[in-house]
Structure 1
């Protein structure tokens, strides 16, 4: 049985940030759409993320503002040495922000509700059948939903990506480390700071409130620990605290003090999950199917994935708004893939175990390199 039979609607698979961003932008352009989500609901722990100035522009375009904390500098530490960059920003635009995923998602859900966008939960995509008139999304339960186009915004483990690229190794794979972060109440305003240490780095920045019910501002400390996938899956909160307590012995006195605040505050939120990535697919589109966000460029953390996903959504919305041609579809993939590659590959290289700083000499060498870059760039950095 075919339900929601609107032949001109765009079917969006995935109710994450990229999928909801596309749904909002399409609806504002009077293009009908429906969102299908495999999970029954959203919830659980949240993490902090940085959204670039370009990403903030899209949030504001969708009517979303006043979330997170602006960050206009990047402060890099190499042991006791410090380098401070000003983040380049287009004149008259809002700066980048650091914010919790939950805060962004809540605002997107509010906006989708205001616009009357239908989201169907517990729809696990099994197949997408293309025909001359459109496409039919088929769930594992046999439910069928028809539309004109189908967009995969279903993350690193994208089902739509595997349907578009059946002969390639497009499955998600373990990136080799556990990603973790602590969100904790703090009145201290912290610009985005990266502490480069031997055998790992630590990030720190202000994120504002966790969600709409939160009454206090927070800071976010994040890092990662290289381990096997089995170890990462079995890690408990207690295990994480034990490992970070041991690692913190080699941190700077300031970071050690921050970690003591984290451990002492009962309102601290700990987030930890195995990190996954995947191979960038050869095909982002077919006659009726398209990919955006992590489904299209499944890089690991640090590559501005959320910002890129929203920018993908904007570009695809523009494509749907105008006459769709093979040339325009190819240009969409070529342009967006190049930008994602530039951001994502460098991030993945930084996170590999073999590229971690392991000696004082390497730490000093990295500091000298960034110091020279700081002088050449007049202390300006594009992010």
Structure 2
């Protein structure tokens, strides 16, 4: 059933585009069905910090005299949550009926931030309805489904994209700048550490929803994080050629949002080695059962013949070959060298926007201005493939090749 909010427009939710200087600007309203925005990521990053942020600044300038005005249509299962969200931000349109929204000819784009287990069917419906598709990852629960979505979207001629936010973060943008500039020489290895302690839910409330820890609901750190590692490694260092992983469920018993105990059936940690095209080796530890002793929640150390770097979400530090100290192993005396102090900060050299908003802008320009865009459903399928093969590697106790996939 399609519903409307009666509340007045809030700061983010102005119902009409504000006046724009100049007489040659064409305003185009774009209706975007946003499914799953009552969840944490969909709400904070995609709705508030991306779409509503674009509205707050007056829309998206395509550079050809067109100003896009995004008009979100909130979609979900809980009417009261949608109504509250719409009222909070002064939005007019929300619905609990996805099929009705997809039948609406005024809706151009379908966005999905639901739980993984519900995503494939919804995206399939959106493609069948002729909507452009932008979706969180993983795009499906298995490679066959992910590839089928990519093929259906390609055959339907709709534009499609997958959220790959990490590569738009300041720290990784600086790292990419170093790679492109040849700073490392020949890249030898990548070491990644990701994770933090997620409370078990008994004496402190968990920071993540309980379905994340149930395999039957699409949970698990491999399913969640390996799609991220695939595109980070692919974009910066080269395609993943093989994976060897060991998964674990370190915390087997947790409590859900209502304090009810449940068995954790999904992996909450994964320790993986990836062989990359070109010969570099990447090791990435992912865990929701680790206490943080690093500068950021995720860090990557890249070592090359000419230099090394350590990049997090925002910062990046380097040590060039010419400035590399000469440590000597001597366990009988205290360390006298300030190892962290021997690294140099990479400057910002520019302004960095919110990573999710930046990719939303690129996707909208792809849809309405024909701008190039390579982070599509096929790229999303590569992430699903790596997760699937990572789980297979752990189950079988062996290294598994990662073949290239195509439409």
TM-score with structure 2 setting the length: 0.26
* Greater gyration radius: 2
**TM-score normalized by structure 1?**
0.27
Higher relative contact order, structure no. (Cα contacts within 8 Å, ≥ 6 residues apart): 1
